[in-house]
Amino acid sequence: MPLYCTKCGAANEEFAEFCKSCGDNLTEAREKNTDKNDEPAQTSEKKLLRSRSNKMITGLAAGLAKYFDMEVDLMRILWVIAFFVSGSTIAIVYLIMAAVIPQEPV
Ligand SMILES: [Zn+2]
């Protein structure tokens, strides 16, 4: 990733100390760059969490529904169908997911 000079906008080597175009110190540009990288891009990123507010057993179905933009009821029906179809397998999957996926913060 090139380092863009804050003064003239020239692209420099990532580890360059001074701008090859205007000679400006690139420390500032690097800090700016780092800030940008640190910025949580995850704000819009969806996170799979178990719902606290809308839970029947563990909140997993509600969390999954939210994650996949689905109706909670539809997600629950899918789980119920899966239980009927695969029995204990899906029960184990459900329990593992419920254990692994964190609960959404209060
Ligand atoms: Zn420059």
Ligand 1 centroid from CA 38, angstroms: 23
- 71 and 102 co-located in one domain: yes
The three state secondary structure string of 72-103 is HHHHHHHHHHHHHHHCHHHHHHHHHHHHHCCE
Provide the sign of the torsion angle of the four alpha carbons 52, 54, 59, 65, taken in this order. negative
- Whether 49 and 101 have beta carbons less than 8 Å apart is answered as yes
Residue 56: is its pLDDT beyond 80? no
Ligand 1 centroid from CA 65, angstroms: 49
- 93 and 62 co-located in one domain: yes
pTM of the model: 0.49
pLDDT for the residue numbered 35: 63
Number of domains in the chain: 2
Ligand 1 centroid from CA 12, angstroms: 8
**Could you read off the pLDDT of 14-32 as tens digits, one per residue?**
889 999 999 999 888 778 7
Average pLDDT in the 31-50 region? 67
pLDDT for the residue numbered 51: 86
Ligand 1 centroid from CA 25, angstroms: 8
For helices 60-67 and 72-86, angle between their N-to-C axes, nearest 10 degrees: 120
Ligand 1 centroid from CA 1, angstroms: 16
16: nearest Cα among 5, 38, 34: 5
Q: Which residues form the domain of 17?
A: 3-35
pLDDT for the residue numbered 18: 94
* DSSP type of residue 29: H
- 57 and 81 co-located in one domain: yes
- 23 and 70 co-located in one domain: no
CA-CA distance, 15 to 17, in Å (whole number)? Answer: 6
- 26 and 59 co-located in one domain: no
- 31 and 51 co-located in one domain: no
**Could you read off the pLDDT of 81-101 as tens digits, one per residue?**
999 999 889 989 989 998 998
